[in-house]
Structure 1
Amino acid sequence: MLRPDLVLYEMSDVGASAAARRAGIPVVSHVIGRSMPANPMLGDAGINVWPDLVRDPELTALPTVFRPRPVPWNEPGTVPSWLDGLDRPLVYLTLGTVAFGATGVLRAAIDGLARLPVDVLVARGPGDPGEFGDLPPNVHITGFVPQSEVLPRADLVVHHGGTGTVLGALAAGLPQLVLPQGADQFVNAEVLETANAGRALTGEEVTADAVEERAKTLLDDARVREVAARARHEIAAMPAPSEVVRRLEEFAAHA
């Protein structure tokens, strides 16, 4: 019978943790965000990819926390050729898969950003980009883009607050305007605001006028950009995932 030396689980999968503990196998929980209650979902040790700037202080209860660098990932894709040689700021706008019925939020964001002297790349996700009708010439809408390749070219990210996009933008040192729609997105938005790494608009606050005003402020706010740059340097200094795998092997051998 196969018996693992270590069980790694995503922290909300409490069944995996319970089964491993009953079998006497050490468990390591992978932290997925700031909205999950820390206990009893944490293991004997934890994996936390969040930099100190936005790290959950409750994780200090664990005696061992592994801190791999968050590595952006996306399906292979092509970066739009018009991004080459831009002579004004680029705003990247995405609401993920536009879940939670957020088409109206995306429309408001497009209308607000279009008023600024910027180029706007909108990653619509699934659905027909044509549903938004004629768009101003500085707004370019598509389905999907390779986000990890777009972020280094951007000056501001306007998004839903998903953990992947939050960490990807921090790794690129970008200010963020978060328009949360559900799940952990509201907590992520609050964390970014508290750290002064971004701003948020929620519910009825999301209007074209408000998006225009907040985006303009973030593009000009040197303090927010400084905090975002600090997060980028911190993430770059975190150990590579391959190094953390080696440390996990040592942890399992001595647990």
Structure 2
Amino acid sequence: MRILVTASCSEGLVLPLVPIAWALRSAGHEVLVAAPENMAKVVVEAGLPYVRSAAAVEMPEVLSVDRDGEPVPMPREEAALLRHIGRGYARLALRLIDGLRDIAKRWRPDLIVSETYGFAGPLLAAELGIPWIEQGMRLVSPPSISQSGADELAPELKELGLSDLPSPLLSLDLCPPGIRGADGGPAQKMRFVPYNGRASGLPDWVHERRDKPRLCLTFGTRVPLNRSPIKGGFSLLEQLMHRLPELGVEVVVAVSDEVSGNFTKLPGGVRVAGQLPLNQILPGCDLIVHHGGVGTTLTALALGVPQVTVPVIAEVWESARLLVASGAGRQVPFIGATADGIFDACAAILGEPSYRRNAGRLREEIAALPSPADVVRRIEELLS
């Protein structure tokens, strides 16, 4: 088969697509990843064939203006924020769809793979009359985001004779059963395989014996650079770098060189790992503090590391609440978060062994789920 993977405009929504793309390719299928220009390096470094679907685009910009380029104020209440995000993802789809049509016309795919809110994928599938696979990425995907996305795309759907986005042939769910229970619907469970980008080489300290706990601190690629709709990430990151060593831990800060170049002073007990992939750092860590990103959350779960999540965007707030309910972490909402509040959450986890046990239980659940290769066989059966 020819399989077109339609990817979004942020690294955190591209990297989780890599394992299923490689599994499909390893099974003998032709795979092509279509993504905006600013994601080209991410795809190519994953060893996958890349094609440009659109010029570089940033999600905060898409969220901030409507179809006509008029400013859209950001709501404050959670339900309204989720609808706002859904419409933003739909407007992103409109930025990508023309390029995807051209790619499909030349390449003629048999199947499309897209993440849950990558609405350009199902829209293109409907136009072409071919099936699509939904790749879930979050512990839970608020349905109001998909509904508001469909509302925003109503004119395009009407042209296709549809009142809603087409249902996928198969939905892939990465959430372990111990997080969400049995309410995930008929989706196909799939093991999350951590892939956080290419490593140029592992430094010796990653595997050295330690005399104190190690804490990983990361706010992703966008939040520290104020490329998130909510600002203040860099300031909080710097405060935490100075405060968290007081826990008696070694702090490993996982940020890009662009971010670390702005640090004024590196405190004692703090090590900057640069963009060393999280799946290489976390096996030696006792705790991670992060921004609630989908890939970061799932990587920590897959590796059995307790988490303090400081969720920034509303689409992951419910995921953060589910993580807390599982006993594998705590949350400190980003809005109103202080270094002291995050320090206290870290101290609580480091002082209570049950967090590590619960994280280990979820790691075992993830390891027991069907692999991407198993899921490819299921897809082939459905299409045979």
Moved more, 70-79 or 90-99: 70-79
Matched, 1:185 2:316: yes
Residues 197 and 224, structure 1, Cα contact 8 Å, conserved in 2: yes
Map of 1:80 onto structure 2? 203
Gaps of 5+ in 2: 1-104, 148-163
Q: What is residue 93 of structure 1 aligned with on the other side?
A: 217
CA–CA distance in structure 2, aligned partners of residues 143 and 137 of structure 1 = 17
Alignment check: 8 A CA contact 1:94 1:158 kept: yes
Taking the aligned partners of 1:110 and 1:159, their CA distance within structure 2 comes to 13
Identity %: 33
- For the 8 Å contact 2:112–2:125, the answer to whether it is kept is yes
State the 1:88 CA deviation.
0.9
Q: Secondary structure at the match of 1:85?
A: coil
List aligned pairs for 1:39-58, cutoff 5 A.
Answer: 42-55=167-180
CA separation in 2, counterparts of 1:25 and 1:223? Answer: 47
The separation in 2 between residues aligned to 1:119 and 1:16, in whole angstroms, is 43
CA–CA distance in structure 2, aligned partners of residues 80 and 91 of structure 1 = 17
* Equivalent of 1:31 in 97, 111, 136: 136
May I ask how many residue pairs the two structures share in their alignment?
250
Higher helix proportion, which one?
2
List aligned pairs for 1:60-75, cutoff 5 A: 60=185, 62=186, 65-73=187-195, 74-75=197-198
Q: Deviations over 1:49-89 (max 9, x none)?
A: 121123486641x3xx2222111112123333234121111
In the TM superposition, residue 217 of structure 1 has moved relative to its aligned partner by 1.0
2:110 & 2:264 partners in 1: Cα distance? 56
Q: Take 2:366 and 2:349, find their aligned partners in 1: how far apart are those partners?
A: 21
**In 2, distance between residues paired with 1:230 and 1:118?**
24
Matched, 1:244 2:375: yes
Determine the structure 2 residue equivalent to 1:208: 339
40-49 vs 195-204, which moves further: 40-49
Any residues of structure 2 matched to 1:134-149 within 5 Å, and which? 134-149=265-280
Query: Residues of 2 paired with 1:213 and 1:228: CA distance?
Result: 19
| CA spacing shift, 1:82–1:25, aligned 2, 3 Å | closer
| Helix, strand or coil at the partner of 1:211 | helix
Distance 1:59 1:185 in 2: 16
Q: CA 1:55–1:22 in 2, change beyond 3 Å: closer, same or farther?
A: farther
Equivalent residue, structure 1, for 2:240: 109
Out of 44-53 and 122-131, give the one that drifted further. Answer: 122-131
Q: Structure 1: which 5+ runs fail to align? A: none
Range moving further from structure 2, 67-76 or 168-177:
67-76
In structure 2, do the counterparts of structure 1 residues 54 and 135 end up closer, same or farther at CA, with 3 Å as the change threshold? same
What one-letter code is carried by the residue in structure 2 that aligns with 1:199?
R
CA distance in 1, matches of 2:184, 2:366: 18
CA distance in 2, matches of 1:179, 1:19: 35
Q: Name which of structure 1's ranges 147-156 and 215-224 shifts more when overlaid on structure 2.
A: 215-224
| Corresponding position of 1:229 | 360
List per-residue Cα deviations over 1:114-151 (Å, max 9, x = no partner): 21111010012242525333333211124211211111
- Runs (4+) off by over 6 Å: none
Question: Which amino acid letter does the alignment assign opposite residue 338 of structure 2?
Answer: T
| 2:285 equivalent among 154, 164, 177 | 154
CA RMSD of aligned residues (A): 2.4
Q: Distance in 1 between matches of 2:258 and 2:125?
A: 42
Q: Distance in 2 between matches of 1:173 and 1:8?
A: 28
Query: CA contact under 8 A between 1:122 and 1:142: conserved in structure 2?
Result: yes
TM-score by length of 2: 0.59
> Aligned pair 1:7/2:112, yes or no?
yes
